[in-house]
């Protein structure tokens, strides 16, 4: 009977040890497996708790603190990001309405992105003699340049009709990207086509679907500063982004009329579609076998969004 | 309790006995050199583990990459002492502007003797060394599938015994053999003669020789030197293999005893005197044999069949090339 108990205990112990070993390894992801270009966030911004406080006394100072987190995969560099504060000027006085910032995005060394804090000291003014308190709001609007980069391996298969015998390295197919690229504007789908040419060559052709999946507005890259000031804006300054694509490092032609490598597109209902074609050397030799080639799509734009917090300005009652 | 213990001991003893008997059988088995039967393969390739590695993290501008393929000749060609007259192993599936690598290796330069009673077949390696040009990888992850394609001439030799009966319909006479059908085992080649069917008429015997692609690749029209088609097998060459070059096998020889019957065979395709077409990997040819009038009684004679072709087989391995930026 005792032997049985010892045997069972031994087996259980063995199981427990092997189990522990297994669990110990769980959850570890190799550094290189961290997918940085994932998600639909760019810059995230929030007021720190009690800055501003929910209730502030009239004619007194109070802090406004913002936490900026770059949860995307691009950097906001060289002070190119701007935060502008909005408030009721009759009741709140902010000495510095506009603050520039830089914050790095996700990288292998900071896989969650980096943080930046902005703190300013504001001051409330007097409220009406008939009022004991006055509700107000503090707004913070961020304007920043950002970039979406999609990298994918696409198949270049000159055998369009599938007549060639034998195993192929890959097949041409549409690619869907549902998880974003670590930026508020994302490439949601790439439709791949191979266009046959008369000269025995083929031209890879791509239909690139883009979408503003973030909670803000896309703005023209050149108007980032203007949007965060009181400058007049044109409707064309919104929903405008610049698209650039390359296959195997060769720039694709994304605009039928212009020779430029990049094309400016306007989002309609937050979405658009761009057509890009491989034009170098009149295409690729149709005699080669299917192979995987790197497709890179870059979207350059400005982005803006606003957050707010309500405060109550209370009068200091002396009686 | 004691009874239970006894049962346990008996069960354990029985199990031990079963294991030891099975083990003895395995170790005691001797290979009989005369019973050699070939398999369905010619050259068989496999990647040497970690060449290439499944994941490559780029650390320099020109990251070295090695692809090593182990090649085994599991078939019965070429004849003893000979080497492959032609053939090559090619790499493809990747962007050549990113991976610069020697993309072809010559098979004749490899030591790949055929399988025989005394030789389990030659094994050699094909090593491809090159560099990954990290400047050309404009994306974080580049995921190509490396294809290794071997293209080589091969020969199937099938030998069997058939019955030559001058009076096939005379059932009253005692005979040493009777005409009939026979299935053949694989001949140590990817194209096999699978069956010989015999149909007799007075003074004439017809042999239907069935052949099949029993390997894991494609068969192409080509002769033993196979130069033209082997060169065009190169996926990076830029010249396509035509549909009509596939599924064609050359009937090189059909010999019965001393009599060469190759010219007495049909049907052939593409207007040629020796090209057998395969459909869904299978084909046949019918050869006739005129029984000499001097033959009075049935006798057995060897039938010697030789098929010539070019064989193409492919293996693949997906790899991941990562740039840590």
pLDDT in tens, B125-156: 999 999 999 888 888 889 999 999 999 999 99
Q: How far is B286 from chain A (nearest CA, A)?
A: 28
Looking at residue B175, its pLDDT comes to 84
pLDDT surpasses 80 at A22: no
Neighbours of A59 (CB within 10 A): 13
> In the predicted model, what is the mean pLDDT of residues A84-106?
91
Cα separation, A137 vs A312, whole angstroms: 8
* Portions of chain B given CATH number 2.60.40.10: 38-153+313-323
Chain B residues with CB-CB distance to A152 below 8 A = 139
Inter-chain residue contact B324 with A32, CB threshold 8 Å: yes
How sure is the predictor about B176, in pLDDT bands with cuts at 50, 70 and 90? confident
Query: What part of A 35-64 touches B (C-beta under 8 Å)?
Result: 36-37
Looking at residue B168, its pLDDT comes to 81
CA-closest candidate to residue B85, choices B224, B234, B231: B224
Q: B175-179 — which CB contacts under 8 Å span 24+ positions?
A: B175/B297, B175/B298, B176/B297, B176/B298, B176/B299, B176/B300, B177/B298, B177/B299, B177/B300, B178/B298, B179/B205
B188 phi-psi bin (left φ>0, alpha ψ -120 to 50, beta other): left
- For the domain covering B156-223+242-309, report its CATH number: 2.60.40
What domains are defined for chain A? 43-145+306-314 (2.60.40.10), 146-303 (no CATH)
Separation of CA B324 from chain center: 43
Paired tokens of A110: 């900071």
pLDDT surpasses 80 at B14: no
- For the domain covering B38-153+313-323, report its CATH number: 2.60.40.10
Helix and strand numbers (H, E) in chain B are: 2, 20
The region of weakest confidence among B38-42, B92-96, B190-194, B266-270 is B38-42
Cα separation, B1 vs A244, whole angstroms: 82
The shortest CB-CB distance from A37 to any of B140, B246, B312 is to B140
- Cβ(B289)–Cβ(B204) under 8 Å? yes
CA distance readout (Å), B245 to A116, A167, B249, B273: 67, 16, 10, 16
Inter-chain residue contact A153 with B322, CB threshold 8 Å: no
Inter-chain residue contact B138 with A107, CB threshold 8 Å: no
pLDDT in tens, B42-91: 999 999 999 999 999 887 778 899 999 999 999 999 998 889 988 999 99
Q: Which value does ipTM take for this structure?
A: 0.77
**Any CB–CB contact under 8 A between A28 and chain B?**
no
How sure is the predictor about A18, in pLDDT bands with cuts at 50, 70 and 90? low
Using DSSP's 3-state secondary structure scheme, residue B49 falls into coil
Percentage helix, strand, coil, to 5, in chain A? 15, 50, 40
Using DSSP's 3-state secondary structure scheme, residue A92 falls into strand
Q: How far is A36 from chain B (nearest CA, A)?
A: 9
């Amino acid at each position: 009977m005792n032997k049985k108990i010892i045997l069972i205990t031994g087996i259980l112990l063995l199981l427990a040890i092997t189990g522990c070993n297994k669990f110990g390894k769980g959850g570890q992801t190799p550094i290189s497996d961290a997918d940085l270009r994932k998600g639909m966030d760019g810059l995230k911004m929030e007021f720190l708790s009690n800055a501003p406080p929910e209730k502030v006394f009239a004619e007194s100072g109070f802090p406004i603190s913002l936490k900026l987190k770059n949860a995307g995969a691009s950097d906001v560099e060289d002070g190119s990001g701007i935060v502008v504060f909005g408030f009721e000027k009759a009741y709140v006085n902010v000495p510095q309405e506009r603050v520039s910032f830089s914050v790095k995005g996700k990288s292998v060394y900071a896989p969650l992105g980096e943080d930046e804090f902005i703190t300013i000291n504001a001051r409330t003014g007097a409220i009406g003699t008939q009022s004991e308190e006055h509700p107000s709001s503090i707004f913070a609007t961020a304007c920043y340049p950002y970039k979406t980069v999609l990298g994918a391996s696409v198949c270049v298969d000159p055998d369009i009709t599938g007549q060639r015998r034998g195993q192929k390295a890959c097949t041409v197919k549409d690619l869907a990207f549902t998880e974003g690229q670590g930026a508020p504007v994302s490439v949601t789908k790439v439709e791949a086509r191979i266009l046959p040419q008369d000269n025995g060559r083929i031209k890879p052709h791509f239909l690139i679907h883009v979408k503003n999946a973030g909670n803000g507005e896309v703005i023209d890259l050149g108007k980032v500063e203007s949007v965060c000031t009181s400058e007049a804006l044109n409707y064309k300054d919104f929903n405008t982004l610049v698209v650039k694509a390359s296959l195997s490092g060769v720039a694709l032609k994304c605009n039928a009329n212009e020779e430029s490598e990049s094309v400016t597109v306007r989002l309609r209902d937050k979405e658009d579609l761009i057509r890009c074609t491989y034009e170098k050397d009149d295409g690729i030799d149709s005699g080669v076998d299917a192979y995987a080639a790197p497709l890179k799509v870059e979207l350059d734009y400005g982005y803006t969004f606003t957050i707010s917090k309500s405060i109550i300005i209370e009068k200091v009652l002396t009686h | 309790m004691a009874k239970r213990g006894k049962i346990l001991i008996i069960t354990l003893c029985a199990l031990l006995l079963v294991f030891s008997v099975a083990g003895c059988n395995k170790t005691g088995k001797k290979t009989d050199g005369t019973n050699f039967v070939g398999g369905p393969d010619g050259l068989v390739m496999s990647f040497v583990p970690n060449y290439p590695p499944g994941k490559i993290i780029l650390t320099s501008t020109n990251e070295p990459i090695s692809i090593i393929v182990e090649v085994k000749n599991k078939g019965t060609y070429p004849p003893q002492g000979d080497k492959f007259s032609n053939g090559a192993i090619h790499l493809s599936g990747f962007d050549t502007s990113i991976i610069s690598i020697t993309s072809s290796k010559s098979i004749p330069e490899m030591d790949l003797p055929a399988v025989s009673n005394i030789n389990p077949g030659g094994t050699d390696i094909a090593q491809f060394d090159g560099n990954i040009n990290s400047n050309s990888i404009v994306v974080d992850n580049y995921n190509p599938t490396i294809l290794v394609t071997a293209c080589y001439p091969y020969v199937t030799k099938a030998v069997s015994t058939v019955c030559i009966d001058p009076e096939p319909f005379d059932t009253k006479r005692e005979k040493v053999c009777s005409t009939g059908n026979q299935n053949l085992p694989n001949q140590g080649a990817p194209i096999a003669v699978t069956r010989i069917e015999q149909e007799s008429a007075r003074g004439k015997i017809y042999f239907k020789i069935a052949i099949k692609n029993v390997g894991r690749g494609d068969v192409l029209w080509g002769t033993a030197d196979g130069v033209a088609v082997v060169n065009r097998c190169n996926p990076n060459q830029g010249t396509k293999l035509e549909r009509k070059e596939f599924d064609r096998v050359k009937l090189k020889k059909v010999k019965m005893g001393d009599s060469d019957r190759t010219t007495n065979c049909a049907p052939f395709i593409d207007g040629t005197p020796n090209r057998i077409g395969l459909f869904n990997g299978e084909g046949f040819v019918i050869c006739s044999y005129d029984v000499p009038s001097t033959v009075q009684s049935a006798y057995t004679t060897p039938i010697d069949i030789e098929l010539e072709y070019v064989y193409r087989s492919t293996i693949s391995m997906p790899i991941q090339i990562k740039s840590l930026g």
